[in-house]
Amino acid sequence: MKMVPRLVGIPAAEIDAVWPLVEPLIAGACRRGGGKDAPADIRRGLKARDQQLWLAWDGGVVALAVTEIACHPRKKCCRIRICTGRERRSWQHQLAAIEAWARAQGCVAMELIARPGWSRLLKDQGYATTHLYCEKEL
């Protein structure tokens, strides 16, 4: 019987230990993100506790998310910077664990910039598409 992946937060002190398992997924997300970050930048942010690493784990990494707290002048939000992996249907409902953690940190909202398909998937979890983030290289 197939194991259901469990979403777990990885403490900053454990980033070096899990890095060989997550670096390929993070590298792919950085490439798809247009080169704004490199894996080393994400690693540095995770180790400094400026970002948080979440793994969907079933004895191996199925997926991962990288979050950060965004403090806007009038609202504290948890921003999902990276969310990537395989077997999405087996773990996507567990984003509620990140939301609960965010509330415990004083966040009043979640935010993310994602590929268009994610807006359809997240609608069932209460997310609304309010803006599109578009960019142009100069």
Q: Regarding beta strands 61-72 and 6-10, do their DSSP bridges make them parallel or antiparallel, or are they unpaired?
A: unpaired
Contact criterion met (CB below 8 Å) for 43 and 19: yes
**Per-residue pLDDT in tens (0 to 9) along the chain, 138 residues:** 567 888 999 999 999 999 999 999 999 999 988 788 999 999 999 999 999 999 998 888 999 999 999 999 999 999 999 999 888 878 888 888 999 999 999 999 999 877 777 777 788 888 888 777 776 664
Give Cα 24 to chain centroid, integer Å: 15
Q: Domains in the chain, ordered, with CATH?
A: 6-113 (3.40.630.30)
**pLDDT tens digit sequence for 8-45:** 999 999 999 999 999 999 999 999 887 889 999 999 99
Question: What six digits make up the tokens of 107?
Answer: 């966040």
The CA-CA-CA angle for residues 107, 25, 81, to 5°, reads: 25
**Could you identify the residue written with the tokens 């992946």?**
5
Confidence at residue 42, expressed as pLDDT on a 0 to 100 scale: 98
